[in-house]
Amino acid sequence: MKGAPGPANEIPEAGVAYLDGAFVPFADAKVSIATHALQYGTGVFEGIRAYWNAPAEQLYVFRLREHFERMTRSCRIVRIGLPGDADELSAIVLELLRRNAFTSDVYIRPLAYKAARVVKVALHGLRDGFGIYAFPMGGYLSTGGLAAHTTSWRRISDEAIPARAKVSGAYINTALAVDEAAEHGAEEAIFLTSGGHVSEGGGSNLFMVRDGALITPPVTDDILEGITRQTIEDLARELGYAFVQRPIDRTELFIADELFFCGTGAQVAPCVKVDGRPVGSGTIGPIAKAIGDRYFAIARGDDASHPEWRTAVYAR
Give the mean model confidence (pLDDT) for residues 121-145. 93
pLDDT of residue 4: 54
Superfamily, domain 146-300 = D-amino Acid Aminotransferase, subunit A, domain 2 (3.20.10.10)
Domain with CATH 3.30.470.10 in the chain: 16-136
Strands (E), 173-212: 188-192, 198-201, 205-210
pLDDT band at 139 (very low <50, low <70, confident <90, very high): confident
Query: Which region, left, alpha or beta, applies to residue 220 given φ > 0 means left and ψ of -120 to 50 means alpha?
Result: alpha
Burial 252-278 (b: 16+ CB within 10 A, else e): ebeebbbbbbbbbbbbbbbbbbbeeee
Residue-wise pLDDT tens digits, 166-196: 999 999 999 999 999 999 999 999 999 999 9
pLDDT of residue 239: 95
Give the mean model confidence (pLDDT) for residues 76-102. 98
Residues tagged active-site: 166
Domain with CATH 3.20.10.10 in the chain: 146-300
pLDDT of residue 309: 98
Do residues 127 and 90 lie in contact, with contact meaning Cβ atoms separated by under 8 Å? no
Does pLDDT of 5 surpass 60?
A: no
Which of 8-17, 56-65, 88-97, 124-133 is predicted least confidently?
8-17
CATH topology of domain 16-136: D-amino Acid Aminotransferase; Chain A, domain 1 (3.30.470)
Residue type, 215: I
pLDDT band at 6 (very low <50, low <70, confident <90, very high): low
